[in-house]
Structure 1
Amino acid sequence: MVTAARRLDHVHKQLTTLAQRTTDDLHRVAQGCAQINSLRILQNSAVALDILAARRADAVEHHKDLIHTYQRATAAGTPQHRPPRKATVTSRGTPAASRSAAIPRRSRPPLPRYPMPPHRPELATFAPAVADRLPGHWTSRLNPARTGPEHFATLQRLWDEAGHAASLIEEYVHLDDAVMHGPGEQQLYVTHRPLRTGELVIAPLAPDDDAILEHHFDCIDGPSGITVPDDPVRAAALIARRLLPTYCAALQALRRHVAERPDPPRLPAPSPVRETVTLTWYPDGTFGAPYTSVPPEVRATLFMAGFCYFPHRDAFVLSAEYPEDDQVRRLQAVAHALTSAGIGVNLRRSGNPAEPTATSPPGGGPHPRRAR
């Protein structure tokens, strides 16, 4: 009963803290002091509040059942001293006590046994216990901002080659998490495994260094996160055997790539061309080039690719009767043949053809670092 009461108080404290934090955020948004973030306030906070409310209601019902069971058990185990009853004689001359003793008494059904719900370990005690058992000097730190920019920046540094641990972390709402810091920039993300009360998820993190770019992770056998039991001794043994060797080797390879290739590889510059042929994309879906703009040595290549000379247009034209994919293959053949001969190819359009429609590339800007 004491353990159930402490768990109820802990869940209630978490619920009130999160509700007060969400209320403060909405109050600042209402006053115009901050901008609303729907992903943080309306989704993560709402789901976390629902989970905590359900956990508190379950803890209250379980506590009531424990109190009722305890009261019945103590009442059944306490002897009751009743005064002896006088034997009463019925009209037939038989004592009433002897008649009642002759009637068999029904056995009382056993009291229901409510199994104790599985207990999730507190990360405030689990993470330090695991850190003390890992090789080298390790420390642990709880993440206070579970829905802020710091938390999402941590999730972006997940280095999970297999992707299983990253999916367990990113696709569920976690009420608490921690980060363990070790030697050589080693960092391990720790949180509860969803839908499994007796297990936790351990995922390595990439170093938080602006000098590390995406191309530095190429050709590296990256580490993968694992799930461990809630026993600190067994969890530390699994981390040291299954995760740390691959993680340390990947960090060494990553630092070597940063030192050897600080900049991403650049594509080689195009070779110079002696002349250029321009192909025009017309509104009716045809591709053409004026006859006078096509050098004589290029005309045979256009004929082989399906271009025909139309005297009334005085141009080489690739008919729109060809399917779209067939047109693409023929244009690629022309471009490959001409560029191999040192002749450049330009492709422009005239007007707005109906099909295929040209799509503009998305807006630029620096690409955020994706989760490993």
Structure 2
Amino acid sequence: MPDPRDTRDLESFAMALADELPGRWRSEYHRHTVYDDQFSLAEDVWDMNLVSAAVAQYVLEHDAVLTRDDGARLYVIGRPRQDEEYLVAAMAPADVVPEAFRGVREPDGIVVPDDPFRAADDITAHLLPRYDKAFAQVQHNAQSLAPQAAVPSDGADRVEMTWADDGGLVARPASEDAAAVLRDSGFVYDERQQTYVLSGDDTAAQGRSARAAGARLSALGIGAVIRNAPSKPALDTTTRAAPTPAKPARTR
């Protein structure tokens, strides 16, 4: 089996990308010495498609975070098994109550070339407009919710999805409306576990189904959260010596 380790100069790419993006950005590069380290930042990745799937399924050697002066953040990693491409995703605003994300669609990440100038153009045209819109909506919601922030949510209007060890996506809806959306999006009810499961046999189809479910839930005013919490890398990832189980990671 070929070794999928990422040997690209991500640090230099991220620094050059930060210089080319509109506004003022700074770049922070992180190298991971153990498998669990990749989840400390990835838990804030605001994506329900390519990037969250890559974090869940692959051992990442390193990543970078670009931060704009207003607090907006971009998460940058090499695209697994594609040496000339990178994945860039928005990161959710920090220190915001979960209720503020209700009804806000995730500004899913994009694939960019290894040329920072072309990558900056793609991000400016295709990611930042969606990110800025979602970022503003969340901030507005957070301000509206400020007087109620001390009241805990009962989770009745949110669906949590969790990556299983076998690559499946497991969801636990709290309402029949949410359950109906999951069924229509390809999730199958597991009576023994009392959960809905989206098979990972076809990851491309799985990503489309998860994204469709998130969009339909959002339209109903139901939040959707994906938790990247695999206990081990997939079979086609880099082999590590006795990795410890990963802590749950969140996306919004």
What is the TM-score normalised by the length of structure 2? 0.55
1:196 correspondence with 2:82:
yes
1:158 correspondence with 2:45:
yes
Distance in 1 separating the partners of 2:249 and 2:17: 29
Distance in 2 separating the partners of 1:184 and 1:134: 14
1:133 correspondence with 2:20:
yes
Q: Any idea what the Cα deviations from partners look like across 1:221-246, whole Å, max 9, x if unmatched?
A: 33110010101111010001100111
Distance change (3 Å), C-alpha of 1:224 and 1:145? same
| Alignment partner, residue 119 of structure 2 | 235
Which residues in structure 2 correspond to 1:337-352 (within 5 Å)?
A: none
CA-CA distance at 1:159 after TM superposition: 0.3
2:140 aligned counterpart, secondary structure: helix
Distance in 1 separating the partners of 2:76 and 2:251: 16
The amino acid that maps onto 2:20 is R
Alignment RMSD, CA only? Answer: 3.0
The amino acid that maps onto 2:250 is R
Which residues in structure 2 correspond to 1:72-87 (within 5 Å)?
A: none
Distance in 2 separating the partners of 1:257 and 1:126: 34
Distance in 1 separating the partners of 2:152 and 2:85: 45
CA-CA distance at 1:218 after TM superposition: 0.8
Q: Any idea what the Cα deviations from partners look like across 1:273-298, whole Å, max 9, x if unmatched?
A: xxxxxxxxxxxxxxxxxxxxxxxxxx
CA-CA distance at 1:153 after TM superposition: 2.5
Distance in 2 separating the partners of 1:222 and 1:187: 14
| Alignment partner, residue 103 of structure 2 | 219
| Alignment partner, residue 210 of structure 2 | none
Distance in 2 separating the partners of 1:164 and 1:175: 17
Distance in 2 separating the partners of 1:166 and 1:369: 10
Distance in 1 separating the partners of 2:83 and 2:62: 14
Distance change (3 Å), C-alpha of 1:145 and 1:173? closer
1:173 correspondence with 2:59:
yes
Distance change (3 Å), C-alpha of 1:266 and 1:133? closer
1:370 aligned counterpart, secondary structure: strand
| Alignment partner, residue 124 of structure 1 | 11
2:250 aligned counterpart, secondary structure: coil
Q: Any conservation in 2 of the 1:120–1:198 contact (CA below 8 Å)? A: no
Counterpart pick for 2:128 among 219, 227, 244: 244
Q: Any idea what the Cα deviations from partners look like across 1:49-85, whole Å, max 9, x if unmatched?
A: x948xx7xxxxxxxxxxxxxxxxxxxxxxxxxxxxxx
1:224 aligned counterpart, secondary structure: coil
2:141 aligned counterpart, secondary structure: helix
| Alignment partner, residue 370 of structure 1 | 250
What is the TM-score normalised by the length of structure 1? 0.38
Q: Any conservation in 2 of the 1:188–1:205 contact (CA below 8 Å)? A: yes
| Alignment partner, residue 298 of structure 1 | none
2:54 aligned counterpart, secondary structure: helix
| Highest RCO, 1 vs 2 (Cα 8 Å, sep ≥ 6) | 2
Distance in 2 separating the partners of 1:207 and 1:191: 19
Distance in 1 separating the partners of 2:33 and 2:90: 18
Distance change (3 Å), C-alpha of 1:203 and 1:139? same
CA-CA distance at 1:216 after TM superposition: 1.1
Distance change (3 Å), C-alpha of 1:149 and 1:173? closer
Q: Any conservation in 2 of the 1:121–1:230 contact (CA below 8 Å)? A: no
5+ residue gaps in structure 1?
1-49, 56-118, 268-358, 360-366
**Identity over aligned residues, as a percent?**
32
Distance in 2 separating the partners of 1:148 and 1:207: 25
The amino acid that maps onto 1:167 is A
Q: Any conservation in 1 of the 2:13–2:116 contact (CA below 8 Å)? A: yes
The amino acid that maps onto 1:155 is A
1:261 correspondence with 2:148:
no
Q: Any conservation in 2 of the 1:159–1:206 contact (CA below 8 Å)? A: yes
Distance in 2 separating the partners of 1:218 and 1:257: 8
CA-CA distance at 1:150 after TM superposition: 6.0
| Alignment partner, residue 328 of structure 1 | none
2:83 aligned counterpart, secondary structure: coil
The amino acid that maps onto 1:182 is R
CA-CA distance at 1:168 after TM superposition: 1.6
Distance in 1 separating the partners of 2:250 and 2:117: 33
CA-CA distance at 1:183 after TM superposition: 2.7
- Number of aligned residue pairs: 158
Q: Any conservation in 1 of the 2:107–2:130 contact (CA below 8 Å)? A: yes
